[in-house]
Amino acid sequence: MPQVLDIEREIVRTHVPAQPAQLAQPAPKPVEERQSMEARDAANGAIGGMIIGGLFGGAVLSTMGWAGIPGLFEAILLVACGGLGGAMFGAIVGSTGIFAGKRS
């Protein structure tokens, strides 16, 4: 599972505009480590929970079959709601439980 910090560094590297060479400014600082380990653990838990919730939504959708799905919007909504619920649950569990790092 990708770490949130690596994703943030990649976003900053690709989307921060380059400074012109004639301006004598120091290079931008790299993304700092998050101050709160709980916030990082909650974000990692939310990512993991969203994946699991989306898979759960897909499993429910496949169990219903074509006859039980009224349309494409409802199918997408079911998978998205599964992902959102999984993300919320993962953030709660991640900040305190299974995805949390060891605290000293």
pLDDT in tens, 35-93: 677 777 788 888 888 999 999 988 888 888 878 888 888 889 889 999 999 998 888 88
Structure tokens at 95: 């900040």
| pTM as predicted | 0.57
pLDDT surpassing 80 at residue 29: no
Q: What are 24-31's contacts with CB under 8 Å, separation 24+?
A: 31/5
* CB 83, CB 57: distance < 8 Å: yes
pLDDT surpassing 80 at residue 103: no
pLDDT for position 98: 61
The set of residues, in sequence order, having a beta carbon less than 8 Å from that of 42 and lying 6+ positions away, is 91, 92, 94, 95
